[in-house]
Amino acid sequence: MRVLITIIIAFVLQSCMSPDKKRVFEAESSNGLVKLHFNLSDEGEPYYLVMRDNKTVIDTSFLGFEFKNTAAFDKNFIIKNTETKTFNETWQMPWGEQLDVENNYRELKVMLQEKVSPERFLNIVFRVYDDGVGFRYEFPEQARLKEVEITEEHTQFNLTQDYKTFWIPGDWDIYEHLYSTTKLSEIDALKYVDHVNLAQTYIPENAVNTPVTMVGDDGIHLSFHEAALVDYSGMTLKVDTEKLCLESHLVGSQNTDYKVKRSLPFHTPWRAIQMTDNAPDLITSNLIVNLNDPNKIGDVSWFKPMKYTGVWWEMHLGKSSWDYGMEMVDGQWLDTGKAHGKHGATTENVKNFIDFSAKHNIKGVLVEGWNTGWERWIGFEDREGVFDFVTTYPDYDFDEVINYGKEKGVDIIMHHESSAATETYTKQQDTAFALMQHYGIHSVKTGYVGKILPKGEYHHGQYMVNHYNTTVEKAAKYEVAINAHEPIKATGLRRTYPNTISREGLRGQEFNAWAQDGGNPPEHLPIVAFTRMLAGPIDFTPGIFNIKFDEYKKENQVNTTLAQQLALYVVIYSPIQMAADLVEHYEANPEPLQFIKDVGVDWEMTKVLNGEVGDYVTIARKERLTGNWFLGSITDENARELEVDFDFLDANQTYIATIYKDGNNAHWNDNPLALEIETITINKSSKLTLILAEGGGCAISLIKN
Ligand code: NOJ
Ligand code: CA
């Protein structure tokens, strides 16, 4: 792995400097566009400002903490000394949207001490990039502070405009909300408190979850998030709609009267602000991964990015079921003759998926509902001890399925639905991962549906952050990669633990199968691309060809055209991409299936060719091994014509371009299946006008000629 690092460190030792208004502590990004100022108020309160292109983007914003066990960190500080550093490296993603990542920042570290007893210490580290700012708090080892019980972190982001904001509520238990688009001053998260679709939800404040993205009148684009969330609780942002100020509001627990407990020394996650001139640059910004530590688990070549099919959509449609119809008798699951015959994960059904996948260049098959416990999955208070992660239902033969897959070159993807019963899952993990290792299975989809057990914990609090992270670390020891559903948000930890391959953490495709509110509207993914996707890979599970599925559900449908379903393989990034529809629906549509067969999953380079948050986006990605390019373009409920210049292609190379586009009169609701496929030759000097229908899209494979 090629890594170039340049570090220049300057120490400025300013022993016991008194607060000095005239003196400003600054850092400036390498191109000079982004500038950060730090100082203390007359009362010794820490604050910062951020300027971009000589405009104040974050105005005076105060920083501090409240504790249960000790006096607050909010004032009476002096600056003991400061350090500045210039850092520039190029690191490589083992799999990802691109191979080489430039990480180029200027760092300002401010070391504070209280000027009154008990004279405790706090450091704040700022990293200033051309595409934004990250900062975190360091609690250094010190004699008069050994442990903190944080009741609240007070990190402010004081904004200077009433931005157009794309947000979901600051739910402590789930991110599966539709995005709202309002002015910052009009955010009202509390109106989502009673949500019909969710097995768990808790929204205590007018706060939003991150990433939250904003567009200014002057064209500036901002997105607020956090990076490297480890042994801490998730941060929501409380909205002061009058002052246009966001402030950290940490996720808590009903079991403790603090939100985070840590022994010193430790540091918090990074608080991150992406800042760009336009929407496409938000997607190509690497701020979040760059703020994370380098790979700690070494070689992960045992995980191969792949497309997969699976026993999944059929359960969401109600064609088959996860459970078999067993009964729990004296704590044991028994086949008492009550099998209902609808069980999906049968040996035969899985073999059918293996056959189909082998034929169509798809390397994985996910099998949900293979293990005992699903009869008492959802809606039960007492879910501990219900699921078992090694015992199969009677009609599923693990050895047979694995051997059949091996013969055909197809891997099984494991599924562990914990039903949020974390103690049972934690206890069984070693055995469950060892079973996977025995069968040569290298990835697992985990699930956390329901209210967390132990009672009183939330999905996004410190307890669960630690559960999700220790699961990833433990899995790495068994060469297992994790795709978590009902996860903690992605915060770029895939850089440090590259066995963190994908996750849900948004309203995924499944909502289209059963949501009582009409599913995901056409604007959903054009918002997701500029919000949730900035955090990291998404297991969205695209590729539904039978858009209306009236045979199964008359009330539900996918709210896009078929062409958009293809485009999502390029637009939505994940190193594992599901071909989510039923085998029979693909077999009835061999022509569009060709795109799924061809499309890559691991990229050397990504170009975002155009886009506006919530409206449309066009992305082109170059496949690592072949050098072929793939393009995806999607729009919201509005039809559009988008000019694409292919000047990103390699020089002196022609490509056979197969274009999958919305047909005449295509429309997400009235005519979603109208698709036209055209093959032409394209090179670096080509230009095309993509014509997207309402809720439509366009997918292009560009195969080297
Ligand atoms: C919710 C997940 O998002 C979905 O993909 C899965 O099928 C069910 N839980 C069952 O685990
Ligand atoms: Ca729109």
3-state SS assignment for residue 687? strand
pLDDT for 16 beyond 70: no
Q: How confident is the model at residue 5 (pLDDT cuts 50, 70, 90)?
A: low
DSSP assignment of 147-174 equals EEEEEEEEEEEEESS--EEEE-B--SS-
pTM: 0.97
Q: In the prediction, which pLDDT does 194 show?
A: 85
Is residue 521 reached through a cis peptide bond, with omega within 30 degrees of 0 on the bond before it? no
Residues 6+ apart with CB under 8 A from 412: 350, 364, 365, 366, 367, 401, 402, 405, 439, 441
pLDDT for 396 beyond 50: yes
Q: Which residue, by CA, sits nearest to atom 6 of ligand 1?
A: 447
Measured from the alpha carbon of residue 636, the closest ligand is: 2
Q: In the prediction, which pLDDT does 161 show?
A: 97
Q: Which residue, by CA, sits nearest to atom 2 of ligand 1?
A: 485
Q: In the prediction, which pLDDT does 52 show?
A: 98
Q: What atom of ligand 1 comes closest to residue 312's alpha carbon? A: 7
| Rounded distance from Cα 635 to ligand 1 centre (Å) | 27
Q: Which residue, by CA, sits nearest to atom 7 of ligand 1?
A: 312
Compute the distance between CA of residue 656 and CA of residue 152 in angstroms, rounded to an integer: 57
3-state SS assignment for residue 436? helix
Best residue among 175, 417, 520, 574 to mutate for probing ligand 1's pocket (most ligand atoms within 8 Å of CB) is 417
| Rounded distance from Cα 73 to ligand 2 centre (Å) | 43
Measured from the alpha carbon of residue 522, the closest ligand is: 2
| Rounded distance from Cα 36 to ligand 2 centre (Å) | 33
Would you state the structure tokens that stand for residue 256, as one six-digit string? Answer: 């403790």
Q: In the prediction, which pLDDT does 15 show?
A: 36
Which DSSP state fits 393? P
Q: How confident is the model at residue 7 (pLDDT cuts 50, 70, 90)?
A: low
Q: Which of 368, 510, 604, 694 is catalytic?
A: 510
For the segment 109-124, what is each residue's pLDDT rounded down to a tens digit? 999 999 999 999 999 9
Give the chain's mean pLDDT.
Answer: 96
Q: In the prediction, which pLDDT does 125 show?
A: 98
For the segment 627-652, what is each residue's pLDDT rounded down to a tens digit? 999 999 999 999 999 999 999 999 99
Residue ranges of domains in the chain, CATH in brackets: 4-290 (2.70.98.10), 511-705 (3.20.20.70)
Q: In the prediction, which pLDDT does 195 show?
A: 84
Q: What atom of ligand 1 comes closest to residue 541's alpha carbon? A: 5
Residues 6+ apart with CB under 8 A from 236: 170, 172, 205, 207, 208, 209, 210, 248, 249, 250, 251, 460
Q: In the prediction, which pLDDT does 197 show?
A: 83
Average pLDDT over residues 119-132: 98
Compute the distance between CA of residue 612 and CA of residue 8 in angstroms, rounded to an integer: 38
| Rounded distance from Cα 313 to ligand 1 centre (Å) | 10
Q: What atom of ligand 1 comes closest to residue 508's alpha carbon? A: 3
Which DSSP state fits 536? S
Q: Smallest Cα–Cα separation from 427: which of 471, 473, 373?
A: 471
pLDDT for 1 beyond 50: no
Q: What atom of ligand 1 comes closest to residue 447's alpha carbon? A: 11
Q: How far is C-alpha 535 from the geometric centre of its chain's CA atoms? A: 5
Alpha-carbon distances of 70 from 32, 73, 150, 344, rounded to whole Å: 40, 9, 9, 55
| Rounded distance from Cα 315 to ligand 1 centre (Å) | 10
For the segment 537-575, what is each residue's pLDDT rounded down to a tens digit? 999 999 999 999 999 999 999 999 999 999 999 999 999
Measured from the alpha carbon of residue 640, the closest ligand is: 2
Q: How confident is the model at residue 9 (pLDDT cuts 50, 70, 90)?
A: low
Instruction: Tell me what percent of the residues of the chain surpass a pLDDT of 90.
Output: 95
End-to-end Cα spacing for the chain: 30
Best residue among 510, 520, 574, 576 to mutate for probing ligand 1's pocket (most ligand atoms within 8 Å of CB) is 510
Q: What atom of ligand 1 comes closest to residue 322's alpha carbon? A: 10
Q: What atom of ligand 1 comes closest to residue 316's alpha carbon? A: 7
For the segment 141-177, what is each residue's pLDDT rounded down to a tens digit? 999 999 999 999 999 999 999 999 999 999 999 999 9
Measured from the alpha carbon of residue 415, the closest ligand is: 1
Would you state the structure tokens that stand for residue 538, as one six-digit string? Answer: 């998404």
Compute the distance between CA of residue 501 and CA of residue 318 in angstroms, rounded to an integer: 28
Compute the distance between CA of residue 120 and CA of residue 75 in angstroms, rounded to an integer: 12
| Rounded distance from Cα 636 to ligand 2 centre (Å) | 6
| Rounded distance from Cα 212 to ligand 1 centre (Å) | 25
pLDDT for 20 beyond 60: no
Q: What atom of ligand 1 comes closest to residue 485's alpha carbon? A: 3
3-state SS assignment for residue 677? strand
Is residue 590 reached through a cis peptide bond, with omega within 30 degrees of 0 on the bond before it? no
Q: In the prediction, which pLDDT does 17 show?
A: 39
pLDDT for 18 beyond 70: no
pLDDT for 3 beyond 80: no
Would you state the structure tokens that stand for residue 669, as one six-digit string? Answer: 């609701």
| Rounded distance from Cα 151 to ligand 1 centre (Å) | 33
Instruction: Tell me what percent of the residues of the chain surpass a pLDDT of 70.
Output: 97
3-state SS assignment for residue 257? coil
Pocket of ligand 1 (CB under 6 A): 312, 368, 417, 447, 449, 485, 504, 510
Active-site annotation holds for 205:
no
CA quadruple 584, 588, 590, 594: dihedral sign? negative
Answer left, alpha or beta for residue 382, where phi above 0 means left and psi between -120 and 50 means alpha: beta
Would you state the structure tokens that stand for residue 528, as one six-digit string? Answer: 């997701």
Residues in the chain: 705
pLDDT for 22 beyond 70: no
Measured from the alpha carbon of residue 344, the closest ligand is: 1
Q: In the prediction, which pLDDT does 379 show?
A: 85
Measured from the alpha carbon of residue 695, the closest ligand is: 2
Q: In the prediction, which pLDDT does 11 show?
A: 46
pLDDT for 21 beyond 90: no
| Rounded distance from Cα 614 to ligand 2 centre (Å) | 5
| Rounded distance from Cα 485 to ligand 1 centre (Å) | 7
Q: What atom of ligand 1 comes closest to residue 415's alpha carbon? A: 11
Q: Which residue, by CA, sits nearest to atom 8 of ligand 1?
A: 447
Best residue among 374, 377, 485, 486 to mutate for probing ligand 1's pocket (most ligand atoms within 8 Å of CB) is 485
Q: Which residue, by CA, sits nearest to atom 3 of ligand 1?
A: 485
Best residue among 368, 418, 459, 482 to mutate for probing ligand 1's pocket (most ligand atoms within 8 Å of CB) is 368
Q: Smallest Cα–Cα separation from 184: which of 214, 227, 209, 158?
A: 214
